[in-house]
Amino acid sequence: MWDYSEQVLEHFYNPRNHGTMETVEEPDVAVVYGEVGSISCGDALRLHLKIKESTDTILDSRFQTFGCTSAIASSSALTELVKGKTLDEALNITNHEIADFLGGLPEAKMHCSVMGQEALEAAIYKYRGIEVEHHDDDDEGTLICSCFGITETKIRRVAIENDLTEVEQITNYIKAGGGCGTCLANIEDILIEVQAEKAALADRVTAQLDTSAEPAEVPNLTPIQKITLIQQVLDTEVRPMLMADGGNVELYNVEGDRVQVILTGACGSCASSTETLKYAIENKLKILVSPALTVEQVEG
């Protein structure tokens, strides 16, 4: 028997916003759904969104799922979380926020929150007309787990995004390795590689700090490596400085060389927040990640 939180059980027994959503003939309103998994094979989620087109705001949401207690509770939580958010804000919802909304999920059930996040992305990308943009790279690369159709790319992404270091965690988050088990050694190798790459990036930050304040050479980073390094610099070099003044910073998005951040606490209301951005954050990122980076503040 899983050790579920009260919130999980509450959303399971009384799921919010369960059902489908009909297309509406209302001006300025669109209905769209995103789907992950396979409804015919089980363990699937279809998430419906009603969107006010002029403001990109989610007016309402419904879900249909085949899944366990956690899948139903996660889907229910997600429909509550997205209401009233803009599409950009909704895209910023992580699977951890879904789990946190429910007072946590058993580690072995975290894949249910991942499924919710992916269905949300699928719905929004479909609305925006972006073809298979939803982690489309995940389907490329070497197939590692044939039981669940999981590639190396997806294992790497989920490991980096959720800071996973154990094979068992990968199984809990995306099921890879949870079938015949023949892929477990390969998953282990991938996690060792990911950890080595993260350590190398951390060493690079340290070496750069120790030796020079000159901008770094433009590194040959993959998009995920770049985001990971930016996040590391914010965590280790910028956040402690801002927190000392009662502020904080969250990474919102990275588009090419544009880094969008949300300043909170004292920083968010500070008249000199633009200065803070330019001199405290942008300069750090230029030195430690790439001189091409620019930083801009977005509203949280």
Catalytic residue, chosen from 68, 112, 180, 267, is: 112
241 binds ligand FES (CB under 6 A): no
Q: Tell me which residue of 39, 29, 93, 32 sits closest to 71, measured CA to CA.
A: 39
The residues in 135-154 that bind ligand FES, with binding defined as CB under 6 A, are 145-147
- The one-letter amino acid code at 40 reads S
248 phi, psi to nearest 5 deg? -165, 170
Q: Does the active-site annotation cover 270?
A: no
183 binds ligand FES (CB under 6 A): yes
Question: Of 5-13, 88-96, 115-123, 175-183, which part binds ligand FES (CB under 6 A)?
Answer: 175-183
Contact predicate 259/230, CB 8 Å:
yes
Secondary structure of residue 260 in the 3-state scheme: strand
Local structure of residue 222 (DSSP, 8 states): -
Q: Tell me which residue of 122, 113, 114, 44 sits closest to 87, measured CA to CA.
A: 122
Among 23, 55, 94, 182, binds ligand FES (CB under 6 A): 182
Closest distance of CB 180 from ligand FES, Å: 4
Question: Of 173-181, 239-247, 254-262, 283-291, which part binds ligand FES (CB under 6 A)?
Answer: 173-181
Closest distance of CB 225 from ligand FES, Å: 26
Task: Name the residue nearer to ligand FES (CB basis): 126 or 156.
Answer: 156
Q: E strand or H helix at 48, and its extent? A: strand 42-52
Q: Tell me which residue of 223, 263, 258, 257 sits closest to 239, measured CA to CA.
A: 263
Strands 57-66 and 42-52: antiparallel
Question: Of 105-113, 176-184, 195-203, 226-234, which part binds ligand FES (CB under 6 A)?
Answer: 176-184
List residues binding ligand FES (CB under 6 A).
Answer: 145-147, 176-183
Task: Give catalytic residue positions.
Answer: 41, 112
